[in-house]
Structure 1
């Protein structure tokens, strides 16, 4: 049986106090430069970060932008608030579900997220919401891990996925690039430095 939204949220609530520690090796070795590369592409005055987590992207926020950041896990958002206060970051934090955003159509110049759609229950619904709240000629930027294009590795990822979901609430076999391309964006580009599994997706509305 597939986990519902409440179960996934509880899993993130459970690991929130230890989340940064759990991801520290991958963060230090791989993710940090990619976060910097992702945020260097953010443009415009009003930016929405989805899946803010514990606030790992705070160091890369554009100084002049107005930033709203959301997460569906109360405990992750508490960790983000602590990080915000400690680093004196200017950001509005909201407890919201990416699948049902309260913002008006065409609200944000850039919508941005890192490693978010691995844990969205209905990813296509969430992506359509990002498209909706993004301004015309604005952009959606996503840094995501996706299922491998190599058959043997993809088979292994599909095999292991139920275990990873049960432990952490995240899927390791999503095809997020394909899902983004199905959302009606004018262009969808993959950063040329990406490898097989890690993708930096730039979608223009």
Structure 2
């Protein structure tokens, strides 16, 4: 994990995809691409194993009832050499700020359904995913994260 923000350099064309599709649709260059969007429970995805090369999430795991189960589902549908890019907010590691986030979590949970005190990095590890890179975007609360599947060591090759 580094400070040079390699994620942005490698995947700088991922973020503007939505805007680009909107532009082409407005210009009549493509049909309504939204017809192919599916709404699913991230804890129970209807895709086969090893389906995606790249998965991008943005502020998803604050509202998933069982975030470890949701992360395990992403791992299941991710190809062996695939990557997951996440933009997530989470509980601060600062003792005082973290405690404040714990105390006020109920406000955000009942106002807009988001848990502000999730321990997302710990949940990622519990789900069996490997951190490739983590960049703090706002203190240690908002992070840009790149993940991959953990490499399983074959006992024959040991």
TM range (shorter): 0.7 to 0.9
The TM-score normalised by the length of structure 1 is 0.58
Q: Tell whether the 8 Å contact from 1:191 to 1:200 is kept in structure 2 after alignment.
A: yes
Secondary structure in 2 matching 1:203? strand
Residues 1:140 and 2:68 aligned together: no
RMSD of aligned residue pairs (Cα, Å)? 3.1
Residues 1:154 and 2:116 aligned together: no
Residues 1:203 and 2:158 aligned together: no
Bigger helix fraction: 1
Match 1:58 to one of 6, 10, 18: 18
Deviations 1:21-54 (A, max 9, x none): xxxxxxxxxxxxxxx9495275xxxxxxxxxxxx
CA–CA separation in structure 2 for the residues paired with 1:104 and 1:131: 11
CA–CA separation in structure 1 for the residues paired with 2:56 and 2:26: 23
Aligned to 2:12: 40
Counterparts in 2 of 1:174 and 1:186: CA distance versus 1, 3 Å: closer
The TM-score normalised by the length of structure 2 is 0.74
Aligned residues: 137
Counterparts in 2 of 1:93 and 1:84: CA distance versus 1, 3 Å: farther
Q: Which runs of 5+ in 2 are unaligned?
A: 1-6, 150-158
CA–CA separation in structure 2 for the residues paired with 1:188 and 1:203: 5
User: What pairs up with 1:1-205 in 2 under 5 angstroms?
Assistant: 37=8, 40=12, 58-59=18-19, 90=33, 92-191=36-135, 195-205=139-149
Q: Tell whether the 8 Å contact from 2:43 to 2:73 is kept in structure 1 after alignment.
A: yes
Counterparts in 2 of 1:162 and 1:86: CA distance versus 1, 3 Å: farther
User: C-alpha displacement at 1:86, in angstroms?
Assistant: 5.5
Deviations 1:112-144 (A, max 9, x none): 100000000100000000000000110111110
Q: Which protein has greater RCO, CA pairs closer than 8 Å, 6+ apart?
A: 2
CA–CA separation in structure 2 for the residues paired with 1:174 and 1:136: 27
Q: Which runs of 5+ in 1 are unaligned?
A: 1-35, 43-55, 64-81
Bigger Rg, which one: 2
